[in-house]
């Protein structure tokens, strides 16, 4: 070195020192267990596009660990690790430790954030963390390049990079979604979030809290139905993958030549942008919502929004405003109704073109390659099917999408719209190709053909008219005893004649009788399998409850609610006709020593989630706010795929406007499921249904009934027993002994905890069903459960297994036995 100094110029010395410095400061993309990234140091992806390190935002001392674009001048953060727990000084460090956990440490080496790690996660004795060229921060074993222990792409923030897969993992119950920052200066989780909603058929939605703000439409094989047409852009790709275990959506630019991001801003605006090197800025090429027609459900049921007209909202053709006075005030929330009511069996379908398909939460679908004609036949056979569309527009005959219930959130599309075929009364003019995209017939010329008729033809017509009128009068006379003409119109349920039901059930043959008031199997002439609930001829109270059920359930359509096909009211016979449920009711399987073995943990957890989503629909997402009031295991039916369906709405009550609570002198329902405030004071609300749901959850987990539960070491009911085990940190003892070891204990523990939160004594302490659905599907911290209702020990001299009830409680007198038709 001395010789070098002696014979080298000062310039060469400087070059030598810079070379030495560069060798020791070369950026790396990897952290090992023997090193850590301190504040002021960074990781850089091998392609130089992304950088990870500590940063702070303008006018804030808080320090965050995040990922940003390294080679552009505008600070653009695409992921933040500790968005909810910032550091308050520059003494933090990022480290990776065995068995494979990333952690952010503070000045005292305390952990302020760590990556997700569960018992099911593969452990590594030699883990590393690496920032990939995609912007994905991964943790993996140093010798395994194929399997990740953890990745930031599973936990995105407000930015959707190419390669992030939004959607649901049904095996783990975990959802991947993006959520806005609280503000431009605060990266903590804000009000807005964007999700792939798999209810019905998958669609992309933007929410504020739990409320829909914007809906991009169901997936059509090429894109979301309501999204701009990206299929013709060779530089941009979108895809949706659906399997039994997951549904995942990805998007992004093709190739690395253009930087592109999709971001959800703090104000709820979704923006797609590309980097422009010429202007040194981000250029927005798509943003949603783009206009007022993007506001979810702006025009109400069966309304159509057109941003190019004033006013924007109008009724679909052949529909009229439900409340013309409100429409005159530009209040379109009540929407529209058909001007001629449907009558299943004679209806037809009209084509509405170039629209965004309606909300897909109340849909069913068939993924088999089928033509539109086959879709129409399938929909026509199902009286609850109100519309159909092609499921996959990427090729001819690519499945069917069937709509049930109200058609909500339709808008006219300037381009890339789709066709929807809506069920209409046969008396409506037009055929399947006669209706334009606005749902109207504006400017369409009509030709009237006048033909002479012979006197013979006139006489034949008069005879036919007489027969028709007489038949209609006879039919209406049979209904009027149970329903007024107004009731029939409002119910919108098909009427089945008594001979049709007699033929389907073989004259209510005893060989088909499964219980009092129930008959089956039943088979309609078109092959539809049915279940029939027959009211006792001596029950007057049951008539009122049957009427209540008909009036309510016709307005409810959800995959976790039983579907009513129609009703029959002739003479002394009063019946409801339902879809066939091959696995009968939950109680018959859950509380049977042998059959309960068929309910493994995953089936039980799926049933819990299904009931929760059905109840959420009743409380929040349906046109009416419905309180069920008799939620119990026997009123949960299971279809062929073990999907749960909430049934029996005879005791249900609907709330309007902002009403959340009511009181009654006539307490109805079932002991063991009723909340304290309802059973004692007659107060019922959504929170009384939440209590019943909590009881169901604990019954499903344990395999025991709440009513009649008894152990030798105490006299508590099932709720009290579950709470005592929870307080002793022994909740595992509650699990049904018939379950083998193939279960996810994290799911079981979460289900028990949520169940106990639902049965807390005070209604104010119980969560809403939207919170329940969120807590079941996400690994979030849960609050401490408080003492459940009816916790006091009972007198063991009372026979708790008896079905007798307190005489001050009025029972549901309508027959609740279900029959299954085949």
Distance of alpha carbon 54 from its chain centroid, rounded?
A: 37
Instruction: Compute and round to an integer the Cα radius of gyration of the chain.
Output: 31
Report whether 560 contacts 614 (CB < 8 A).
Answer: yes
d(CA 305, CA 448): 31
Tokens describing residue 292: 């007022």
d(CA 129, CA 384): 53
Tokens describing residue 717: 């009911």
CA neighbor of 68 nearest in space, from 56, 84, 85: 56
Report whether 186 contacts 84 (CB < 8 A).
Answer: no
CA neighbor of 409 nearest in space, from 349, 342, 350, 333: 333
For residue 394, give the DSSP letter.
T
Pair type for strands 303-305 and 410-412: parallel
| Cis-peptide into 99, omega within 30 deg | yes
CA neighbor of 287 nearest in space, from 276, 301, 274: 274
Three-class SS state of 583: coil
The alpha carbon dihedral of 533, 537, 540, 544 has a sign of positive
Three-class SS state of 577: strand
Out of 409, 630, 648, 736, the active site residue is 630
Active site residue 630: yes
Report whether 220 contacts 214 (CB < 8 A).
Answer: no
d(CA 359, CA 299): 13
Alpha helices in 617-759 (DSSP H): 676-681, 686-702, 718-727, 745-758
What angle, 0 to 180 degrees and rounded to 10, lies between the N-to-C axes of helices 686-702 and 601-616?
Answer: 170
Task: Scan for tokens 């023997």, then name that residue.
Answer: 34
Report whether 791 contacts 715 (CB < 8 A).
Answer: no
DSSP 295-338: STTTT-TTEEE-TTSSSSEEEPTTEEESSHHHHHTT--TT-EEE
Phi-psi region of 268 (alpha: psi -120 to 50; beta: other; left: phi over 0): left
Q: Rounded to a whole number, what is the largest CA-CA distance in the chain?
A: 129
Tokens describing residue 145: 């390049």
Which amino acids are annotated catalytic? 630
């Amino acid at each position: 070195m001395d010789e070098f100094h002696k014979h080298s110029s000062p310039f060469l010395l400087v070059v030598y020192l810079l070379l030495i410095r560069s060798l020791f400061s070369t950026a790396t993309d990897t952290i090992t267990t023997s090193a850590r990234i301190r504040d002021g140091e960074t990781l850089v992806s091998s392609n130089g596009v992304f950088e990870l390190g500590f940063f702070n935002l303008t006018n804030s001392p808080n320090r965050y660990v995040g990922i940003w674009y390294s080679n552009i001048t505008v600070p653009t953060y695409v992921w933040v690790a500790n968005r909810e727990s910032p550091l308050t000084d520059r003494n933090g460090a990022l480290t990776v430790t065995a068995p494979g956990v990333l952690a952010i440490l503070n000045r005292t080496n305390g952990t302020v954030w760590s990556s997700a790690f569960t018992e099911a996660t593969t452990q590594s004795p030699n883990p590393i963390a690496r920032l990939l060229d995609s912007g994905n921060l991964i943790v993996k074993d140093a010798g395994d390049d194929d399997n990740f222990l953890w990745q930031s792409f599973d936990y995105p923030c407000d930015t959707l990079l190419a390669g992030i897969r939004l959607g649901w993992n049904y095996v783990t119950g975990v959802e991947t979604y993006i959520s806005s920052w609280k503000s431009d200066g605060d990266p903590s989780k804000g009000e807005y979030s964007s999700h792939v909603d798999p209810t019905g058929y998958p669609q992309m939605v933007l929410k504020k809290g739990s409320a829909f703000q914007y809906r991009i439409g169901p997936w059509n094989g090429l894109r979301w139905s309501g999204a701009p047409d990206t299929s013709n852009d060779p530089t941009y790709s979108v895809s949706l993958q659906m399997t039994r275990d997951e549904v995942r959506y990805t998007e992004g630019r093709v190739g690395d030549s253009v930087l592109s991001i999709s971001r959800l801003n703090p104000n709820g605006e979704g923006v797609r942008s590309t980097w422009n090197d010429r202007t040194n800025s981000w250029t927005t090429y798509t943003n949603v919502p783009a206009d007022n027609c993007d506001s979810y459900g702006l025009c109400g049921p069966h309304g159509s929004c057109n941003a190019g007209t004033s006013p924007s909202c109008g009724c679909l053709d052949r529909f009229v405003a439900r409340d013309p006075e409100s429409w005159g005030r530009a209040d379109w929330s009540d929407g529209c109704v058909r001007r001629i009511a449907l009558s299943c069996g004679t209806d037809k379908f009209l084509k509405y073109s170039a629209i965004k398909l309606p909300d897909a939460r109340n849909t069913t679908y068939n993924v088999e390659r089928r033509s539109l004609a086959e879709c129409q036949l399938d929909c026509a056979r199902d009286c609850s099917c109100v519309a159909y569309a092609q499921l996959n527009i990427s090729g001819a005959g690519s499945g069917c999408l069937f709509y049930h219930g109200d058609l909500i959130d339709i808008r006219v599309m300037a381009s890339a719209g789709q066709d929807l075929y809506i069920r209409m009364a046969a008396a409506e003019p037009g055929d399947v190709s006669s209706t334009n995209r606005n749902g109207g017939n504006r400017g369409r010329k009509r030709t009237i053909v006048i033909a002479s008729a012979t006197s013979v033809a006139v006489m034949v017509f008069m005879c036919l008219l007489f027969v028709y009128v007489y038949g209609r009068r006879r039919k209406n006379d049979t209904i009027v005893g149970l329903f007024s003409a107004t009731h029939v119109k409002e119910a919108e349920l098909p009427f089945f004649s008594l001979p049709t039901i007699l033929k389907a059930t073989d004259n209510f043959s005893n060989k088909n009788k499964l219980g009092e008031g129930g008959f089956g199997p039943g088979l309609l002439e078109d092959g539809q399998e049915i279940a029939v609930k027959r009211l006792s001829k001596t029950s007057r109270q049951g008539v009122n409850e049957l009427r209540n059920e008909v009036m309510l359930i016709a307005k409810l359509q959800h995959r976790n609610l039983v579907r009513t096909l129609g009703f029959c009211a002739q003479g002394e016979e009063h019946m409801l006709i339902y879809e066939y449920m091959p696995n009968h009711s939950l109680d018959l399987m859950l509380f049977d020593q042998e059959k309960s073995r068929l309910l493994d943990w995953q089936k039980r957890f799926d049933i819990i989630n299904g009931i929760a989503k059905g109840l959420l629909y009743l409380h929040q997402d349906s046109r009416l706010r419905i309180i069920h009031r008799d939620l119990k295991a026997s009123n949960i039916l299971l279809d062929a795929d073990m999907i749960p369906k909430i049934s029996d709405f005879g005791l249900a009550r609907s709330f309007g406007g902002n009403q959340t609570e009511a009181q009654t002198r006539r307490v109805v329902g079932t002991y063991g499921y009723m909340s304290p405030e309802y059973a004692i004071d007659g107060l019922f609300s959504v929170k009384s249904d939440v209590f019943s749901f909590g009881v169901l959850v604990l019954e499903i987990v344990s395999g025991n009934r709440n009513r009649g539960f008894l152990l030798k070491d105490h006299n508590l009911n099932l709720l009290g027993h579950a709470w005592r085990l929870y307080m002793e940190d022994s909740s595992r003892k509650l699990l049904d002994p018939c379950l083998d070891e193939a279960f996810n204990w994290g799911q079981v523990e979460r289900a028990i905890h949520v169940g106990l939160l639902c049965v807390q004594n005070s209604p104010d302490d119980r969560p809403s069903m939207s919170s329940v659905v969120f807590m079941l599907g996400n690994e979030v911290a849960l609050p401490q459960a408080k003492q459940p209702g009816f916790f006091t020990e009972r007198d063991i001299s009372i026979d708790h297994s008896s079905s007798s009830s307190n005489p001050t409680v009025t029972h549901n007198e309508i027959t609740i036995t279900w029959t299954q038709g085949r």
